[in-house]
Amino acid sequence: MLTHQQNRKFLSKDKARPGGKSVFLLRFLLLCCLFSVLAGSLWAFKEGTEPFQPGLFPGAALAGLVLLGFTIRRGFEFFRSSHSKEPGRDEADRDQLNKIIQSTPQPILIVDSSGKALTFNKRFADLFALVPGQDFFLLSDQPTASWDLKDAFSRAVLGESIVLPEMWRKLYFQKSPPGYREICLSWAFIPVRNASGLVEKVYVKIEDCTERKRQEEEIAQEKSRLQAALKGARQVTCEIDPLTGKIVIGSPNSGSETFYRPDGLNGLENFEELIHPDDQHQFLNLVKEHALQQDAHLNTQFRVQLEPGEWSWLQFRGQAFASSDNSQTMLLGVMMDVTREKEYELTLKESETRYRTLFANALEGMYLIHTNDSVICVNQAFATLLGYDSPAHFETGSLGTHFSQIYYIPKIREIKRQTLLDKGQIQQMETQVRRRDGSLIWISENARAIKDDAGNILYFEGSLTDITARKESEECLLHQALYDHRTNLPNRSFFAEKVDQALKKVRSDLDYAFALLYFDLDGFSAINDSFGHFVGDRLLLEVSQRTQEALGPADTLARFSSDEFGIMVEGRSRTGIQDLAEKLRQELEKVFALDGMDIFITASIGILDYDPTYTRPEDMLRDVELAMHQAKKRGKNQWVIFSSEMYKRKSERTLMEKDLRRAMDREELVLNYQPIVRLDCGELNGLEALIRWNHPEHGCVSPDKFIPLAEDTGLIEPIGDWVLRESCRQIKIWREHNNSLIMNVNISAKQLEKAGLERKVYQVLQDTNLEARCLNLEITESMAMLKMEANVRTLNRLKYMGVRLSIDDFGTGYSSLAHLQRFPLDELKIDRSFISSLNAGRSNIRIVQAIVELALGLKLQMVAEGIETKAQLNKVKTFNCHYGQGFLFSKALKPADIETIWFAPGQNTASQNIFQNLFPEVAKPPLTNSD
């Protein structure tokens, strides 16, 4: 507080101020001067002299009048003041004023017209940290110097009352540490005039509105935050009058962005009228209801039409509030557009309904189970599949908690659970489940684990399909694939699988032993042909039954093909196996009585012992079959144990077949020719073409070795064609040398069987320009008998063409004469076994003689094959045999040798020698064309 003494400072200054009596005297003197000037001027004007400039007079007169007016007024005031005021009255006024200033709560400062502080109150001193009595200049002292008050102050000095708007200022202070604080001040400059009306002081009033301003700003911030929050939440504030249902939307600033509608809710009068008619009534009721109970929250949704033809869903959330005078209750709250949420909710609901319908009506059994196996829900198909009436059995019954007990194999349950936990799903798991009545069915199951966002398993969902029918048909198919439908015995595939298992077992189990038997019925096709397939099938059944009876429980019988069977025996010794084979042979040899007929059949049996070189079942089957074929070769109705020799031979044969296929292209096949001579004169009658194979490794291979192979593999056809063509070509050339020569060509059974032989022969004769009568086709006796009817036809056609026909190896086939007569033959070639046996005794001689007589009786030419000795020749000569062939005359020779030895002119030719040595009785040597 300023002391009384200090306050006096401001008041005493008023005394010393200019403008008192002295000013008044000064003005009076000045007035006298002006009047004297005025009087002088008037006088000069009257006398016609011009001591002054024209116009000076009226100006001086006007100034004098003004000055006179002022002086009179001031004199009057001065007079009044010096005579009317009581002594001590000024003092009291000032004290009064001072008290008022000091007690004013706002900072107050009174300055003179230069801005120098005349007085200030405590609030002012506090605000600017002034000490009492301190000089303070408003316009030059810190901090106000920088506050730009000059303009306002000068206007105040000129008499204008100025109020500056509230403004933030920086108030620096010197305290340590020095700094500043921001304050918001409002300045008012009020000019104070003296008695003469001049501004001599300025009353400065400051309002510190820092605190208020701060609060206002906070409120404004709070408001904008709230608005931002509402905007962010897509909400607007809203007020509902429960009595009228009037809705007033607040926060208009954020409205357009709050709602999805382009024009939002801004400026919408009578908003309540936009509510959907169906929702209006309910909405009003709710509002009224909630208005009655204070603090009750209302959360409701309703439709409004913000745009023509489009309905939006709005949500109101709020509470009832009483007005301040308690006269009215309003519902205050927020409103937001929930159209999207509503639409999403609706689609969700729809899809859920769809899913539920799908789930309920699905044909697949579907389930949802907790990870602990308890059922959440199953559908009707699931219940039906397992023989229950309704899903309730699982959802509420005891089964619900032990869902997985339906599995027939309990371990499946754990495996499935573990897979679901580890991999999250199982696919097409095929397993058996038990139905309510205890029966088992096959199901295929798919399931997956449903997880939350964090990857935690919530539950499992899955589906089951009944695949029993498929499984059964699969089993049926499997049975068909592995069993022979006629005998119901395992088939070759099953047997091979069994052998494979045995091969695996024998490697790990040293005590384990097994062997294979393979048997084929001898002449079964003849039984089929003679008695028909029905009897054949019956016989096979009987055979399989008889075999089965001969076997032990550890033995497996399988049917491989029509009359081929396999047996796998386990745990038998070598002799035990042989005994079994013999027993089987004997059993099958016994008569089968079928449909009143006695049928006899035998079996050829191959035996194969396991040996460690075998790793694949097919190798074992191959070898045991080879042993069976060996048994056949050795005369049938016997058993043969496989030896590696058989396989070797088989392999050689296989190799040879491969080579033979290439032999033609490589020109390894050649023809040699063996002369056939007339036995009456020793002349060369013809030649037999005999094939040779010049194998690059094995040298010359005999036709006995490769012709049967060629017949088996079908190679005989191209080989035979080549032989025919080559030999015809050759004889055509040689006939130029001796035009009576005939070429004998061997024809295989396979060639004869094949249709079109006659066409081929015809073509070759055409191509080589050879007369048919120069070609003699040799057919073995047994071959000719094979398919008689067809052969007779073919041979007749050949005969018709003029080709000669011979029966080769005659006598080995024991053909009946009646049969032979049906063939259009020209010649018989007596097999060399008869000729070589001529030395052995009289009985053989008789046989040969009988054969020759027979042939002669049929008017056939006779050729004696294999004449090796003179004695044989002489014997044959006595039988009146026409021709002879044999080493005695010549071996089969290369064409060049034939030409040099048999055709060259001169004494040393073979024919000359033969003639001289073998036919001395003939007087004249044989003639050749060249002779």
Report the partner that residue 511 touches, choosing among Ca ion, ligand C2E, none (CB closer than 5 to 8 A by kind): none
Regarding 806 and contact with Ca ion (CB under 5 A), the answer is: no
Distances (CA, A) of 700 to 668, 713, 885, 890: 9, 21, 22, 18
Torsion of the alpha carbons at 865, 869, 870 and 874, rounded to the nearest 10: -40
Binder to Ca ion among 200, 726, 809, 827 (CB under 5 A)?
809
Report the partner that residue 628 touches, choosing among ligand C2E, Ca ion, none (CB closer than 5 to 8 A by kind): none
CB of residue 779 vs Ca ion: minimum separation in angstroms? 9
DSSP symbols for 287-334? HHHHHHSTT-EEEEEEEEEEETTEEEEEEEEEEEEE-TTSS-EEEEEE
Binder to Ca ion among 520, 563, 623, 808 (CB under 5 A)?
808
Q: Which residue has the tokens 């208005």?
A: 291
Torsion of the alpha carbons at 106, 107, 108 and 113, rounded to the nearest 10: -140
Using the minimum distance from each CB to ligand C2E, give the nearer residue, 462 or 884.
884
Mapping DSSP to helix (H, G, I), strand (E, B) and coil, where does residue 190 land?
A: strand
Burial of 259 (0-12, 13-18, 19+ CB in 10 A): buried
Residue 909: DSSP 8-state: S
> Which amino acid, 84?
S
CB of residue 503 vs ligand C2E: minimum separation in angstroms? 43
CB of residue 728 vs ligand C2E: minimum separation in angstroms? 12
Contact map string, positions 68 to 107, toward Ca ion, x by CB under 5 A: ----------------------------------------
Structure tokens at 759: 């066409």
Using the minimum distance from each CB to ligand C2E, give the nearer residue, 380 or 806.
806
Distances (CA, A) of 774 to 688, 741, 927: 12, 7, 19
Using the minimum distance from each CB to ligand C2E, give the nearer residue, 630 or 885.
885
Task: Measure the CA–CA gap between 124 and 122, rounded to whole angstroms.
Answer: 5
Contact map string, positions 831 to 870, toward ligand C2E, x by CB under 6 A: -x---------------------------------xxx--
Mapping DSSP to helix (H, G, I), strand (E, B) and coil, where does residue 473 land?
A: helix
Using the minimum distance from each CB to Ca ion, give the nearer residue, 563 or 808.
808
Binder to ligand C2E among 748, 768, 806, 861 (CB under 6 A)?
748
Phi and psi based region of residue 113 (left: phi greater than 0; alpha: psi -120 to 50; beta: remaining): alpha
Structure tokens at 428: 């097409």
Binder to Ca ion among 758, 778, 826, 827 (CB under 5 A)?
778
Structure tokens at 459: 């539950």
Binder to Ca ion among 144, 237, 465, 746 (CB under 5 A)?
746
Using the minimum distance from each CB to ligand C2E, give the nearer residue, 744 or 912.
744
Which residues in the 654-713 window bind ligand C2E by CB under 6 A?
A: 674, 689-691, 702-704, 707
Report the partner that residue 887 touches, choosing among Ca ion, ligand C2E, none (CB closer than 5 to 8 A by kind): ligand C2E
Give the chain's count of helices (H) and strands (E): 32, 32
CB of residue 808 vs Ca ion: minimum separation in angstroms? 4
Mapping DSSP to helix (H, G, I), strand (E, B) and coil, where does residue 422 land?
A: helix
Using the minimum distance from each CB to Ca ion, give the nearer residue, 141 or 721.
721
Contact map string, positions 762 to 781, toward ligand C2E, x by CB under 6 A: ----------------x---
Using the minimum distance from each CB to Ca ion, give the nearer residue, 330 or 898.
898
Q: Which residue has the tokens 């054969």?
A: 851
Report the partner that residue 886 touches, choosing among Ca ion, ligand C2E, none (CB closer than 5 to 8 A by kind): ligand C2E
Binder to ligand C2E among 880, 887, 894, 917 (CB under 6 A)?
887
Report the partner that residue 255 touches, choosing among ligand C2E, Ca ion, none (CB closer than 5 to 8 A by kind): none
Regarding 329 and contact with Ca ion (CB under 5 A), the answer is: no
Regarding 811 and contact with ligand C2E (CB under 6 A), the answer is: no
Residue 166: DSSP 8-state: P
Which residues in the 712-731 window bind ligand C2E by CB under 6 A?
A: 723
Q: From the CB of residue 709, how many other CB atoms can be counted at a distance below 10 Å? A: 16
Using the minimum distance from each CB to ligand C2E, give the nearer residue, 584 or 745.
745
> Which part of the chain contacts Ca ion (CB under 5 A), choosing from 405-413, 636-644, 663-671, 742-750?
742-750
Size of the site for ligand C2E (CB under 6 A): 22
Report the partner that residue 892 touches, choosing among ligand C2E, Ca ion, none (CB closer than 5 to 8 A by kind): ligand C2E
Regarding 522 and contact with Ca ion (CB under 5 A), the answer is: no
DSSP symbols for 48-96? T--SS-TTHHHHHHHHHHHHHHHHHHHHHHHHHHHHHPPTTHHHHHHHH
Under 8 Å CB-to-CB from 260, ≥6 apart: which residues? Answer: 312, 337, 339, 340
SS (H, E, C) 232-294: HCCEEEEEECCCCCCEEECCHHHHHHHCCCCCCCCCCCCHHHHECHHHHHHHHHHHHHHHHCC
CB of residue 862 vs Ca ion: minimum separation in angstroms? 13
Binding site for Ca ion (CB under 5 A): 746, 778, 808-809, 865
Binding site for ligand C2E (CB under 6 A): 674, 689-691, 702-704, 707, 723, 746, 748, 778, 808-809, 832, 866-868, 885-887, 892
